[in-house]
Amino acid sequence: MIELKIALVTGANMGLGLETSRQLALQGIRVLMGARGAVRGRSAAKKLQDEGLPVEFLQLDVTKPEQIRVVAALIVKRFGKLDILVNNAGISEGEGKSSNSTETVSSKVLRNTFDTNFFGLVELTQKLLPLIRKSEAGRIVNVSSIMGSLTIHSQGGSYKPFAYDASKTAVNAFTIHLAAALSGTNIKVNSAHPGWVRTEMGGPHAPLSPADGAKTAVRLATLGPDGPTGKFFHGNDELPW
């Protein structure tokens, strides 16, 4: 009997998280859909359940350590392992859409952004690592952004929302460091750039659908044993840090 893989996707109530959950579940993976809003989270999970997919909702605000502890304990009790963690939850607030916010961004926006996009991501991953170590092929995908690439920012461009970009740069650093820490294990850790996607964050004029945007994270979440680790991808293309 083939053992069912278990995945946790954060920020799974809409957009990229919802589509990532759908695409993983279509591969027969049981997906725990983490979301901070219970109403939207349950509605999203029911939508996929109505499609016959093996998903369920979990209340999870990554900025709340008590919710992280509850989720970890639930996974321990029910499954005893975690095969896939997709750190998708993220925010971008208070920085405008077309300017460099470095001179004006408030400390409150910086802290709020880092709490969700970085500190919560790190804390959740650390808490779940013992469970991921029990998987035969653990996969951690940190949903980042090309806006976190220092190489690309150093080449110019005017669109630089500092809090968001810096948080994603920090996420990429975490990917590199965690992959190094787990070198020699069966766990692979990579960053994913979904592209510019039509979501609440990306806006209605973005060229990619959520289904297209989710493909990179899904690919990295289901890498084979010879797949890369400690890298940054959009689709099959490796991106510069």
pTM for the model = 0.96
Task: Give the pairing type, strands 237-238 and 232-234.
Answer: antiparallel
Average pLDDT over residues 182-205: 88
Catalytic site positions: 164
Average pLDDT over residues 100-126: 96
Is residue 64 assigned to a domain? yes
Domain of residue 112 covers 6-238
- What type of residue sits at position 84? I
Strand partners, 192: 143, 233
Query: How confident is residue 96, by pLDDT bands cut at 50, 70 and 90?
Result: low
Q: Are 12 and 84 contacting, i.e. CB atoms less than 8 angstroms apart?
A: no
198 Cβ contact list (under 8 Å, min separation 6): 204, 205, 206, 208, 209, 210
Q: What is the pLDDT, as a whole number, of residue 1?
A: 47
Query: How confident is residue 181, by pLDDT bands cut at 50, 70 and 90?
Result: very high
Q: Are 30 and 54 contacting, i.e. CB atoms less than 8 angstroms apart?
A: yes
The angle formed by the CA atoms of residues 97, 101 and 106, to the nearest 5 degrees, is 115
Is residue 1 assigned to a domain? no
For the chain, what is the domain count?
A: 1
- End-to-end, the C-alpha distance of the chain in Å comes to 41
pLDDT one-digit tens code per residue, 7-58: 999 999 999 999 999 999 999 999 999 999 999 999 999 999 999 999 999 9
Average pLDDT over residues 75-95: 96
Q: What is the pLDDT, as a whole number, of residue 202?
A: 75
The angle formed by the CA atoms of residues 177, 69 and 71, to the nearest 5 degrees, is 95
Quote the mean pLDDT of the chain. 95
Average pLDDT over residues 188-192: 98
Q: Are 161 and 102 contacting, i.e. CB atoms less than 8 angstroms apart?
A: no
Q: Is the pLDDT of residue 149 over 50?
A: yes
Q: What is the pLDDT, as a whole number, of residue 97?
A: 62
- 56 compared with 206, residue with greater pLDDT: 56
Is residue 38 assigned to a domain? yes
What Rg, from alpha-carbon coordinates, does the chain have? Answer: 17
Domain with residue 37: its CATH number is 3.40.50.720
The angle formed by the CA atoms of residues 212, 213 and 215, to the nearest 5 degrees, is 70
